[in-house]
């Protein structure tokens, strides 16, 4: 059985109407174009934009991370990641998904500096012991302004605690060039390279995601195995059995033809909150472009929105059901949670108008909520698709990363934009520098 099951029935024109669902003709057209993209993926070389597909096979990085984990075992309680966007979101997403009840465990904990908010940065360093902290500075270019500023503060913090940097600080960056590399050389720090051809938002399965995850005690072998399995199965499938391509086709067609300008990422699992933040960058930055792949001006993009299962039913569902029909929903279902959590038998559920709760487990309530929301959306002609994983573990998480990365690469191809650049971001950075430079 596949690691991820996919159901797109509620996105079909036959089900939600042709103004809101994908027609057979549009789907056929999209899948044919997608098949050409699959060819490029299968023929990829290390220098193509599809290099992210090779990350699960990078045994060298896996071995290096395992060696560092083995070498430092028992010497730290906290892993402190310094990085922005693509350099931080996958560490958060993996830790969020795989950590089982953070509070009760002895596993090292994750702290993050992913902002210049002075209170947040101070907070990240507060209450932890520098002697028992391993920091990782991550930046693809090696020159990210915020990362440099945070690194300066963290180095000062280590020095004040009389910690030697090489014992407490790793660097993840491009194999050559950039300040992080020269800083690492000067101080004798251990470096783990990220492949040059892979951009930040596609780097979850590179050293960027693996080094923090490994140091935090997560199963990085499982992560890579799940990603490889999903990739291999999908790329050799027929277009209509290639679920990331199908989901890309539906997103691209409904954006182009039906005005679905918003992609709602709706996991029914609190542990996937940070995966949602990761998805938001992947989708926003890859498709949000001012020019098509040929360089002609055209504003493209779909706004990703995170809506966390039961919580957001109580905050956004009114808008989703009755507001403008401009959204496409991707529901994520976990079939089995780690805790079954049966409700106590001796509670007056009937008095509460909820006799249906008697004898239930929490897991069946959240499942019913997902199905109820799905059905309500469909009745209102709101297109929605569902991804189902049996349980949330390293293997299925790896598969989810690969699923959405493939989906994004396909969607960019179908929408005719470059998935792998981010030209506009430079302008904001330049203006920030100008403003900082004023007296």
Q: φ, ψ for residue 22 (rounded to 5)? A: -85, 135
Whichever of 207 and 308 has its CB closer to a copy of itself, that residue is 308
Establish if 19 lies at the interface with a copy of itself (CB under 8 A). no
- Could you tell me the smallest distance in angstroms from the CB atom of residue 416 to a copy of itself? 14
CA 332 to chain centre: 13
Report, in Å, the least distance between residue 274 CB and a copy of itself: 12
* Active-site choice (43, 314, 434, 438): 314
Q: Is 285 a catalytic residue?
A: yes
Contact 169, 145 (CB under 8 A): no
- Are the C-beta atoms of 11 and 383 separated by less than 8 Å? yes
Secondary structure element (H or E) that encloses residue 231, with its range: helix 220-236
| Residue ranges in 258-277 that form contacts with a copy of itself under rule CB under 8 A | 261-262, 268-271, 277
Sheet holding 109-113, edge to edge: 109-113, 78-82, 133-138, 169-173, 190-193
Contacts of 306 (CB under 8 A, 6+ apart): 264, 265, 273, 276, 277, 279, 280
Residue list 373-412, contact with a copy of itself (CB under 8 A): 373, 375-376, 379-380
Tell me the two tokens of residue 203: 């780097």
Query: Within positions 175 to 204, which residues make up the interface with a copy of itself, using CB under 8 A?
Result: 179, 182-183, 201
Binds a copy of itself by CB under 8 A, chosen from 12, 163, 208, 280 = 280
Per the annotation, the verdict on 429 as an active-site residue is yes
Nearer to a copy of itself, 25 or 424 (CB): 424
Give least dist CB 107 to a copy of itself, A.
13
Reply yes or no on whether 314 is catalytic: yes
Binding a copy of itself by CB under 8 A: which of 110, 215, 258, 308? 308
**In the set 24, 75, 116, 185, which binds a copy of itself (CB under 8 A)?**
116
Written in H, E and C, the secondary structure of 135-188 is EEEECCCCCCHHHHHHHHHHHHHHHHCCCCHHHHEEEEECCCCCHHHHHHHHHC
DSSP H helices in 302-390: 309-313, 317-322, 362-379
Is there binding between residue 100 and a copy of itself (CB under 8 A)?
yes
Total binding residues for a copy of itself by CB under 8 A? 123
The reply on whether position 293 binds a copy of itself by CB under 8 A is: no
Tell me the window of 18-26, 229-237, 332-340, 407-415 that interacts with a copy of itself (CB under 8 A): 332-340
Among 320, 404, 410, 420, binds a copy of itself (CB under 8 A): 320
Our finding on whether 145 is near a copy of itself (CB under 8 A) is: yes
Residue 202 CB, nearest approach to a copy of itself (Å): 13
Query: Are the C-beta atoms of residues 33 and 401 closer than 8 Å to each other?
Result: no
Give φ, ψ of 151 to 5 degrees: -60, -40
Least Å distance, CB 70 to a copy of itself, is 29
Measured distance CA(397)–CA(404) in Å, rounded: 11
CB of 233 to a copy of itself, least distance (A): 27
285 binds a copy of itself (CB under 8 A): yes
Stretch that binds a copy of itself, among 4-12, 108-116, 188-196, 244-252 (CB under 8 A): 108-116
CA distance 80 to 78: 6
Measure the CA–CA gap between 212 and 87, rounded to whole angstroms: 11
Residue 363 is a binding residue for a copy of itself (CB under 8 A): yes
Across the strands, what pairs with 169? 135
Catalytic residues: 285, 314, 429
């Amino acid at each position: 059985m596949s690691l991820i099951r996919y159901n797109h029935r509620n996105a079909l024109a036959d089900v939600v109407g042709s103004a809101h669902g994908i027609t057979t003709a549009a789907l056929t057209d999209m899948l044919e174009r997608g098949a050409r993209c699959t060819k490029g993926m299968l023929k990829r070389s290390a220098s193509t934009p599809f290099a992210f597909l090779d990350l699960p096979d990078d045994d060298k990085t896996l071995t290096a991370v395992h060696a560092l984990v083995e070498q430092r075992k028992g010497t730290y309680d906290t892993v402190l990641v310094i990085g922005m966007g693509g350099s931080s979101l996958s560490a958060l997403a993996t830790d969020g998904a795989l950590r089982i009840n953070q509070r009760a465990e002895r596993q090292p904990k994750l702290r993050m500096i992913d902002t210049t908010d002075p209170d947040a940065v101070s907070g990240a360093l507060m209450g932890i012991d520098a002697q028992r902290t391993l920091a990782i500075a991550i930046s693809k270019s090696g020159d990210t302004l915020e990362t440099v500023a945070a690194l300066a503060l963290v180095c000062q913090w280590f020095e004040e605690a009389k910690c030697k940097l090489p014992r407490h600080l790793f660097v993840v960056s491009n194999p050559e060039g950039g300040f992080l590399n020269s800083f690492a050389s000067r101080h004798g720090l251990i470096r783990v390279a990220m492949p040059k051809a892979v951009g930040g938002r596609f780097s979850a399965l590179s050293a960027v995601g693996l080094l923090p995850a490994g140091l935090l005690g997560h199963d990085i072998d499982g992560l890579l195995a799940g990603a490889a399995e999903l990739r291999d199965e999908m790329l050799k499938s027929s277009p209509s059995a290639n679920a990331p391509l199908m989901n890309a086709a539906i997103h691209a067609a409904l954006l182009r033809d039906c005005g679905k300008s918003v992609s709602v990422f709706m996991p029914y699992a609190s542990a996937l909150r940070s995966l949602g933040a990761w998805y938001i960058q992947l989708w926003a930055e890859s498709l949000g472009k001012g020019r098509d792949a040929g360089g002609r001006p055209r504003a493209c993009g779909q706004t990703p929105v995170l809506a966390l299962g039961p919580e957001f039913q109580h905050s956004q569902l009114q808008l989703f059901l009755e507001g403008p029909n401009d959204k496409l929903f991707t529901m994520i279902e976990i079939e089995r949670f780690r805790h079954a959590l049966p409700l106590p038998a001796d509670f007056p559920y009937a008095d509460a108008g909820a006799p249906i709760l008697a004898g239930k487990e929490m897991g069946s309530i959240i499942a019913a909520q997902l199905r109820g929301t799905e059905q309500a959306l469909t009745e209102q002609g709101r297109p929605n698709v569902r991804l189902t994983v049996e349980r949330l573990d390293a293997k299925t998480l790896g598969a989810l990363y690969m699923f959405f990365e493939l989906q994004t690469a396909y969607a960019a191809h179908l929408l005719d934009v470059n998935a792998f650049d981010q030209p506009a971001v430079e302008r904001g950075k330049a203006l920030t520098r100008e403003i900082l430079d004023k007296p």
